[in-house]
Amino acid sequence: MSDREEAIAQYNDAYGRGEELVFAAGPGDLGCAHIRNEQGAARVCLQGAHVLSFIPAGGQDLLWLSSASRYRPGVAIRGGIPVCWPWFGPHPEDPSLPAHGFARNRLWEPVESFVDRSGATVLRLALGSDAETLKLWPHDFRLELEVRVSERLLVEMRAYNTGERPFRYTGALHTYLRVGDVSDSMVTGLEGESYLDKLDDMRRQRQDGAVAVDREIDRIFLNTSRDCVLHDGASGRRIRVAKNGSRSTVVWNPWRDKAESMPDFDTDGWQRMVCIEAANAEDDQVEVGPGRDALLATTLSTESGG
């Protein structure tokens, strides 16, 4: 048995729950938790505590995942819900450091699983600072991420400061939502909010009406905790994105040219996705004192009607 197979067997012994929660090698041998109950099903890659898929019972996947994703140690997966932490976007001082931080590229450990009173299956994963993370970011920390699967999906991350000094971070649950046709979709819940336009030198603008996704879009909405709804006209579906501990919301679609320049975007994938990210970015940094923690959470659920 390889070390990897042994680890997967140990995870199944400690945290597996019959057919409801099974660990397997998964794509690229990165380790993957398969969760299935009467209300829904999800897959979570252990690299990055990265949710790859969430399907409510009788429904379609809420998440888009590129079939051209590379599943390799230390390489970010395209689609699903990447965990961006402890910085959002490029590192503010050193652009040679990995974009969106390192949490999405590290191997997380399962630490707990249970079924709650409502019948939702819960898996908790953790990541702690070590010699490698300290080289990238000089702070001691522990992250705990909970995935709670019912007819909705809750992803809830807590960042604990286990060091002696306060730290500041930015980050996001970078959710790639699946749509039937991006040109027939829009995002409500951000009307009147201020945003930084990443496509216009971070110019500060105000959102007028719903966000139409009819061209490349990359906006960081600041100081907003409101729910968003993604209206997917082609599929006749609405996805509600609720959040907690998040003061920024990012809306992103690379459109054709940028997607074609990204090798891990599958052909026409940009037409099938919209990112709505529960974030704390730019002005909305989070400070955590020693012994304290901070929350970042998002809940995805479907509503009928496009």
**Least separation in angstroms between CB 287 and ligand BG6:** 22
Query: Could you give the CA distance from residue 36 to residue 42 in angstroms, rounded to a whole number?
Result: 7
Sheet-wide strand order for 228-232: 109-115, 121-128, 141-149, 153-161, 293-304, 237-244, 228-232, 185-188, 211-212
Per CB under 6 A, 284 contacts ligand BG6: no
Per CB under 6 A, 76 contacts ligand BG6: yes
Please identify which of the residues 174, 193, 231, 282 carries the catalytic annotation: 174
Write out the binding residues for ligand BG6, residues 218-237 only, by CB under 6 A.
218
Is 303 one of the catalytic residues? no
Per CB under 6 A, 77 contacts ligand BG6: no
Nearest to 81 by CA among 286, 239, 293, 285: 239
Query: Could you give the CA distance from residue 252 to residue 277 in angstroms, rounded to a whole number?
Result: 8
Question: Which of 100, 148, 247, 272 is in the footprint of ligand BG6 by CB under 6 A?
Answer: 100
Going by DSSP bridges, is the β-strand pair 109-115/83-84 parallel, antiparallel, or unpaired?
Answer: unpaired
Is 277 one of the catalytic residues? yes
Determine the 3-state secondary structure of 205 from DSSP: strand
Nearest to 256 by CA among 276, 273, 277: 273
Number of residues this chain uses to bind ligand BG6 (CB under 6 A): 10
**Least separation in angstroms between CB 90 and ligand BG6:** 9
**Least separation in angstroms between CB 166 and ligand BG6:** 26
Range list of H helices, the chain: 3-15, 131-136, 255-260
List 218's β-bridge partners, or say none: 252
Per CB under 6 A, 174 contacts ligand BG6: yes
Query: Could you give the CA distance from residue 146 to residue 158 in angstroms, rounded to a whole number?
Result: 9
Q: Which residue is nearest to ligand BG6 (CB)?
A: 99
**Percent of the chain that is helix, strand, coil (3-state, to 5):** 15, 45, 40
In 150-210, the DSSP E strands lie at 153-161, 167-169, 171-173, 176-178, 185-188, 194-197, 203-206
Question: Which of 140, 193, 277, 284 is in the footprint of ligand BG6 by CB under 6 A?
Answer: 277
Per CB under 6 A, 250 contacts ligand BG6: yes
**Least separation in angstroms between CB 170 and ligand BG6:** 11
**Least separation in angstroms between CB 95 and ligand BG6:** 12
Please identify which of the residues 144, 193, 277, 282 carries the catalytic annotation: 277
Question: Which of 64, 252, 265, 270 is in the footprint of ligand BG6 by CB under 6 A?
Answer: 252
Nearer to ligand BG6, 141 or 252 (CB): 252
**Least separation in angstroms between CB 251 and ligand BG6:** 9
Contact call for residues 239 and 229 (beta carbons, < 8 A): yes
**Least separation in angstroms between CB 198 and ligand BG6:** 5
Per CB under 6 A, 276 contacts ligand BG6: no
Contact call for residues 239 and 177 (beta carbons, < 8 A): yes
Place of tokens 């965990």: 83
Per CB under 6 A, 99 contacts ligand BG6: yes
Per CB under 6 A, 202 contacts ligand BG6: no
Question: Which of 17, 36, 72, 198 is in the footprint of ligand BG6 by CB under 6 A?
Answer: 198
Nearer to ligand BG6, 174 or 238 (CB): 174
Contact call for residues 69 and 246 (beta carbons, < 8 A): no
Task: Kindly list the catalytic residues.
Answer: 174, 277
Give the footprint of ligand BG6 on this chain (CB under 6 A): 76, 89, 99-100, 174, 198, 218, 250, 252, 277
